[in-house]
Structure 1
């Protein structure tokens, strides 16, 4: 199956954008730098969510968090998504286990929404998404978001997180908010660090080496190079298998249940050359590989003569990320402009090892390793922003007028595995992609956008954004946003925003297809069943009542207050509501084995499709998300040059499903439900209702210390049988670290994450949901289930 659209020529697109700039009177280059707070200040200049220059954090109409590189390195983790989940109460990052490719590319959520409803930028430019679709029973099921962990901490100067809808400013995906990663820059200075750590159980050893340095390019340019490599050994929190069917392994640990074995390697470059006083060339690029080995479900003894005592299939993957952004920016007669080209690609190759194919008549019964196939996604963007600050007599400050145009091309490709990987029932652990699954699909879209903002009076500022997009597969859509801030006093201000937005279904959601073995809960038992995932336009999905996908439509409303009673103490409180219509979800697992479904099963078999269950993507629900964010920061300047910083941050988030689409008649007649109880409740109760973080940093002379306490609120893992639901109580986690500067250039850090060795409650054995007692913890746990982690770092700065 293949749908192709004409592919825009990036050079022609950029030329066209240049012509637009020559006839439009206006607007703004998105600047990719941000000033850090001065000594004694808690504010910094931000570039995310605004087109104005010198907009500070306590002057923004929308809430923006600024996270420094020091904060990013304040924990024992080297995964960006893990670090952000500890620093941002509105971020949730559980750790899937036994979820196929989701073990290797794990999704993160903002404000409890889908992972692909958060837009990720690097230096203000759209980042490409991962090729992996999360199709198993984890949080983020059905999403194909950006892989945050492909961005190394060594390359990051700081991160700006816009907690507000921003589709009118940035386009599709920016429903929950925007994460803008700002890279380190300049030729001066550098740092190198080596870190080692392991868990309290004696496993999960991690070694990370990272470094960043700069070089001059002639007299007017620089290039910054960042490298990072890590070896992360697997963890295992499985319990011994008590079943007699385990054979000689009965009563010993046969399963592997925990973090996968992971080997990431990455290189980031950031550069700029000043061509003349009004023109700069810039480019940034990355190449990274991450090899991951994750465990499937243990296969019992006696199933294969190759493994008389049973075997553990391993899903060995290689995820490759590559991107290049280059452009020109400058100023001409008072007009700022920025023109860029952006190419990004992710390729995910999956092999299955330590396994076999148990199908009758399999031609090579001795084969133990299989190539299961490849996924690839590509993004190409041509972009032009132009801007100017225009004096207006009746305004307190200039009016920033920003115009922009963008052309984007996207493709998604599935490549088949070797025939033996899908022969019959396929390789145990993961049946490979079949030739009928393979294909390449693409689309393109073009957009125009306008942004107006400025200080209307000394107390009142406001902004207006409008964006129109045209998709080759979905047609036209228009988004708008208005925002305002009013300072009642120099210390206290109110702010609010209203916007409508959209998210176009990803190509992966439109075209991902595979038939493989999944473990589904049937009559309270984890049961292996052949499951087909079908594109909505396929004959199989249409036979099951599928309809063409539509874009998600969102409405965001926020209202907040900013308070700075003294120079060193700031507090913000922001209430928000996000309504999303036609939300794209993964359907229920439509089990076709029952007598009522015999007609559907026969219809699929007549098309050569033999599965026990089926599923597809659908615009099945309308949701409403309501919540509040509180952030309060206090800095104390103490005697003898010492300083202490304290931050309290809190998020309360409530999701509800307002409408569920009617089940198609063809399914209802077979006693099947399009969106069952588990599918719906996964959206509402699966992530913590609230999250609180209390952090403190103390610095005196050569010594510094860091403490962070996080309270993860309760969450529920729902089932279709309400009696099998399990609700997990809140959990407190304490992280501590201390550093000392040796001489002037060396620093030694020792730390402990999860000091009190807290684990989530164990999965109930009711209904066998913990797989015969071998998988004791939920993969939905927001802090994972690895326990206490000890680590040490040695760093050198020049």
Structure 2
């Protein structure tokens, strides 16, 4: 040990950073101490340390939570814990409901617990495809850092122990229960380049209202501003293709030659389309935990939470001709010369809206989507001991409401239909598009008793019951949000077609489960744990699953451990019953509820549960004092995995107006029929895109589409070094290698063109290759007197999507985010015992992912495509905003 301590700090730092290039993922900087924490997750036996667990588990202490520049819990976990990957960018509602996934699986496969009790999910389902599609898991951004004592992440299948959606593992947030003291934290920062300004004020206080009781309260107020990382909108500039304006092709009729100077007065011209960036967020969180030790054998406890989240995101910029009335200019004069051939040859309002004197947005407009989320939960419980049997009974209710609005917009169909030859039309500029409500009421009884049967330690037998009631409700929006009209102009409020009464539904589920868990230590070196769980769903029937875990300590320095388990995940109510459509500038895309009449018309017979099999095995090494090394491999097979299907096209206009385009569309006329039967305004959309722009009409649905196989390896090592007068350094190095393969694709629905597949090459790749297979993070936390330095170097392997070129749908190209080293650095100084100042930067060297290939961007520009606005792949694992710097003032009392 003397030789190790004599090595210079610089040498060890270089060695650690070099190692990070060869390993993967993120670990807590103070994990050396966290590995000795007594855990409560993954075992019913009391007294286990994280390093002694028979299953891989990571622990983040309250100090570790503060070593990330952003204060939201998603970034806190993603930047510091192995096997956790965050959704770095989301559009529409997903912009404010980013999520995490564990071991490469969907967020729905990870169970979120608060003090060991199930947390309710969000009402807003992610309707995009890829690895986060269908996510309706608990919104952990609503959990303030200061409310948490520690986070325990069980990286192992635990459905038999905790419930049938813990296929990938469990994240357990342990609340603070202190009856004294507290803290106040003020954090502010912004992106290196532009936008993203944010601030956060968070405080925690504990007090004892009376003897043997505690109340611990945390409050947070957070703000984040817009950012923009896109390019100009080629529809509003002179692309050099003015001649195209006379042929009605390539969208040339949309360039500035047509609208003159009207567009140049638009805010932020020519970057009028601000869709490629973060939205604006205002967040309020309040958490409270409370308890009373009534007697030596009985404790009453509980917790409550309230959150309010208001978010706004920019939507695609709309050109002046999108909304128009019937009132014409005198003698049908054109606004400018050189209009489209369709307009010259057929003087109709639909094909030639520029002849209208009633254009309410002469400079176009930029709609916004606004999300108002209200979330609350209440938990009450009691626990104690009777005759050596530990008992715990709890009732928890949680509710999540998301209200979806569109502002700064208009319903073109309503505006046109309400106008006349002599009067202008009318449409509200804002509307409520719909409401989502998800609630969960969970009641549990847990019992545990130790039996001495002559083993090295007593056997722990635990058993329990759980009753759960879940509700998912979709309420229709204002009529102006979904009004379809006569079909001359596009129906639905622009940017986000509202939810009509046909989409509305209220759905209820009851679940009852029982489990038994037996943990034994027959020998001092051998730990065994087995669990069996039976669940009954009133909509899916019964299932029985199991888990068997073992650990053998070959010596005090070496242990081997392994697990085999099965899992079962019923579809969330949101996956089963969400329904809606979205109308963009030139297309209509819809999501059919899997059990809706429209889905049935396509041959989709609803959803059934997923079934999984999980194997894992690993080693634990303690070669020297204060060093712990863990290596765990895993294999997770999921049958009938729920994914969002590829788009089933009912109409495609991609090759009709551009002779250079190779048409590869697989069209199923039954899709248009199904949409019409559901009251969706297909005709008005086709009429709009029939005027010259390329576009399509299609639908998706959540389906039991595939069988997947996920395999990977987790690596973690921590060590603490004392350099005497040069301070102390806590080192950590973590790695994750994770590969998901689609081993089977289920057949397409019966009434779809059978050339179509459930998951085409694009959707399949989004699921398997848009997150890195390899990640690494090395951390060093140095303390010297009142001075601290936290350095984290993360490596992200390549991730990529498969895209087609604008001019040739058969030409598949790889869009790579590229590999990246990301450096995070924080410097802190303890001014006085209660006061600490910190400054830092995430992504210190302002690293961005690769841009779209230039030849693709050139083609997008040439056809005035709105896709040109997006320069960076939004699936980048570290985002598209570049570096972020911040400062923090922390006060403890």
TM-score, length basis structure 1: 0.91
Paired residue secondary structure (1:46): coil
Give the deviation of 1:640 after TM superposition: 3.9
Superposition deviation, residue 602 in structure 1: 3.4
1:84 to 72, 77, 85: 77
Is 2:458 the counterpart of 1:466?
no
Which deviates more from structure 2 when the two are superposed, residues 372-381 or residues 105-114?
A: 105-114
**Is the 2:802–2:812 Cα contact (8 Å) retained in structure 1?**
no
| 1:417 aligned residue | 477
- Please give the alpha-carbon distance, in whole angstroms, between the structure 1 residues aligned to 2:672 and 2:224: 44
- CA shift digits 1:467-524 (9 cap, x unpaired): 0000000000111000100111110000000000111100011111112215xxxxxx
Report the equivalent of 2:872: 777
Unpaired runs of at least 5, structure 2: 1-28, 238-253, 324-358, 419-424, 485-490, 653-665, 683-696, 805-809
Q: 1:354 and 1:232 mapped to 2: Cα distance? A: 21
Mapped partners of 1:41, 1:125: distance in 2: 22
Separation of aligned partners in 1, 2:255 and 2:428: 23
Secondary structure at the aligned position of 2:735 is classed as strand
Q: Distance in 2 between matches of 1:451 and 1:142?
A: 31
Task: Tell me what 1:701 maps to.
Answer: 785
SS in 2 for 1:276: coil
Cα drift, residue 95 of structure 1: 2.7
Q: Tell me what 1:23 maps to.
A: none
Deviation at 1:687, TM superposition (A): 1.1
Change (3 A) 1:413 1:606: closer
Aligned to 1:116: 108
1:450 aligns with 2:516: yes
Q: Tell me how far 1:148 sits from its aligned partner.
A: 1.3
* Larger strand proportion of the pair: 1
Q: Is the 8 A contact 1:262 1:290 kept in 2?
A: yes
Larger radius of gyration: 2
* Aligned counterpart, 1:639: 724
Q: Deviations over 1:397-439 (max 9, x none)?
A: 1111100000000000011110001112211111111011112
User: 1:730 maps to what in 2?
Assistant: 819
**Which residue in the other structure is 2:651 paired with?**
593
Per the TM alignment, residue 714 of structure 1 is displaced from its structure 2 partner at its CA by 0.9
Kindly tell me: are residues 374 and 606 of structure 1, through their superposed partners in 2, closer, same or farther at Cα, counting changes over 3 Å?
closer
1:390 correspondence with 2:451: yes
Greater displacement, 44-53 / 88-97: 88-97
| In 2, Cα distance between equivalents of 1:406 and 1:355 | 47
The separation in 1 between residues aligned to 2:157 and 2:35, in whole angstroms, is 25
Task: Report the equivalent of 1:289.
Answer: 308
1:641·1:701 contact (CA, 8 Å) conserved in 2? no
Q: Is 1:193 aligned to residue 185 of structure 2?
A: yes
**Distance in 1, Cα, partners of 2:833 & 2:71:** 25
Q: Which of these residues, 127, 144, 147, is aligned with residue 152 of structure 1?
A: 144
Which of 411, 433, 437 is residue 499 of structure 2 equivalent to? 433
Farther-moved stretch of structure 1 (86-95 vs 653-662) = 86-95
Could you tell me which runs of 5 or more consecutive residues in structure 1 were left unpaired when the two chains were aligned: 1-35, 519-526
Alignment counterpart, residue 459 of structure 2, candidates 368, 390, 399: 399
Find 1:668's aligned residue among 717, 735, 753: 753
Alignment of 1:358-757 (within 5 A): 358-359=412-413, 361-363=416-418, 365-393=426-454, 395-424=455-484, 425-518=491-584, 528-593=586-651, 596-602=667-673, 604-606=675-677, 608-611=679-682, 612-640=697-725, 642-669=727-754, 671-719=755-803, 723-757=812-846
Q: Distance in 2 between matches of 1:215 and 1:601?
A: 62
**1:473 match: secondary structure:** coil
Q: Residues 122-157 of structure 1: CA distance to partner in whole angstroms, max 9, x if unpaired? A: 100000011111112564122212111111112111
Residues in 1 aligned to 2:129 and 2:495: alpha-carbon distance in whole angstroms: 16
How far apart are the structure 2 equivalents of 1:387 and 1:60?
A: 19
**Matched position secondary structure for 1:515:** strand
Q: In 1, Cα distance between the equivalents of 2:32 and 2:634?
A: 32
Whole-Å Cα distance in 1 between the matches of residues 766 and 31 of structure 2?
A: 44
Distance in 1 of aligned mates of 2:417 and 2:802: 39
State whether structure 2 residue 190 is matched by structure 1 residue 172: no
Q: Contact 1:703 / 1:740 at 8 angstroms: preserved in 2?
A: yes
Q: Is residue 94–residue 779 contact of structure 1 (8 Å, CA) maintained in 2? A: no
The change in CA–CA distance for 1:37 and 1:194 in structure 2 (over 3 A counts) is closer
Q: 1:743 to 1:605 in 2, by over 3 A?
A: closer
Q: Please give the alpha-carbon distance, in whole angstroms, between the structure 1 residues aligned to 2:745 and 2:831.
A: 61
Per the alignment, residue 51 of structure 2 pairs with 58
2:645/2:759 contact within 8 Å kept:
yes
Distance 1:550 1:701, change over 3 A: same
Return the offset for 1:656: 0.3
In structure 1, the partner of 2:214 is 222
Distance 1:722 1:274, change over 3 A: farther
Verify the 8 A CA contact 2:234 2:866 in the aligned structure 1.
no
- 1:133–1:606 distance in 2 versus 1, CA, 3 Å: closer
Q: Secondary structure at the match of 1:545?
A: coil
Q: Given that residues 350 and 372 in structure 1 are in contact (C-alpha distance below 8 angstroms), is that contact kept between their aligned partners in structure 2?
A: yes
- Separation (CA, whole Å) in 2 of partners of 1:183 and 1:396: 33
